[in-house]
Chains A and B, each alone.
Chain A
Amino acid sequence: MAYRVLIVDDSPAMRAFIRRVIEVSGFDCAACLEAGNGEEALSVLGQEWVDLILTDINMPSMDGEQFVRRLEQDECLRSIPVLVVSTDSTNRRIHHMLSMGVKGYLAKPFTPETLRGELERLLEAPHA
């Protein structure tokens, strides 16, 4: 099964990096959609279905925490697993985001192998 992934990060370079890591890791990805903040991501999700969301926290307009809160309030969108990908790896932030319902937390910097492992864990879909 090929998955549809939404990458939410205000840095176009980081979005491109994550997309490239997903592509070269061999992860079965049918589409990588992108958004620059939570507001844009909700707009994308209004038109497209995705299997997994990767989101940064520190973003303008609507940050990652506000975005996750909006997802959790939506009966349809709350079922999509969310992986936070953030520079903030303080215990307080990680526990707070996990308590909000996100399924994983990946601190930057990360290796391609770590990202792939997290994607597979969240989707419970091991790949060769």
Chain B
Amino acid sequence: MPDLDRARVQDLLHQCAQTVLETMYFATVEGRQPPDGGPVPMRWVEVRFRGDPPGVFQIGLSHEAALSVAAGFMGEDPQCPENTEDVIRELANVVCGAVLSRLESDSSFELGSPRLVDGPMDETDSRVARCDLLLDCGAAAVCLRLGTVP
């Protein structure tokens, strides 16, 4: 199991998610904290990857954030964006790739297909780093677990 420098990985998750969301999804990251009032329900997408090290990446978006980033990406009315699930799967793919490219810049990795999952990984696991983000359109969270995937 690789050592995880949690603070460094949280910074990396923050930077990569912010860059991707602001460059291609036209959402603004306003801060690095959970929304006021405690946790909100999120739609989670998971990407498993092979590489050195292997692991699992997840991104969660609140309902409002999912609709808004999908609308921004597709250039559509935020009230009725088509293909929201496909858009957030691709978001997970792009953020995960950006994180791993910085984490493993001299090695190579292979991403699995992004898939919707029920909830976030267990952040009490010592191999897990999580970063909560406040967006202009809702809430998001990004998680990374390094180590062999069962």
Contact = CB atoms under 8 A, between A and B. Distances in A.
A69 interface: no
B110 interface: yes
Nearest to B104: A90
B24 A92 contact: no
Which applies to chain B's interface (DSSP): helix, strand, loop or mixed? helix
B101 A109 contact: no
B74 A17 contact: yes
Given A93-B108, A110-B23, A110-B24, A87 B97 contact: yes
A87 B101 contact: yes
B105 A91 contact: yes
Interface residues of A, number: 22
Given A109-B24, A110-B24, A11 B93 contact: yes
Contacts of B97: 86-89, 108
Contact of B109 (A13, A20, A60, A90): A90
Contact of A87 (B89, B106, B111): B111
Contacts of A89: 97-98, 101
A16 interface: yes
Given A11-B93, A90-B108, A108 B98 contact: yes
B89 A11 contact: yes
A126 interface: no
Contact of A90 (B73, B74, B75, B105): B105
A101 interface: no
Nearest to A9: B90
A14 B25 CA distance: 11
A58 B111 contact: yes
A114 to B, nearest CB: 9
Nearest to A94: B101
Contact of A108 (B24, B70, B87, B106): B24
B110 A109 contact: no
B19 A109 contact: yes
**Which of A11, A12, A13, A20 lies at the interface centre, i.e. has the most chain B CB atoms within 10 A of its CB?**
A13
A73 interface: no
B108 A87 contact: no
A107 B101 contact: yes
Interface of A: 11-14, 16-17, 20, 58, 60, 86-93, 107-111
Given A16-B83, A89-B101, A90-B101, 7 more contacts: A11-B89, A58-B93, A88-B101, A88-B108, A108-B20, A108-B97, A110-B24
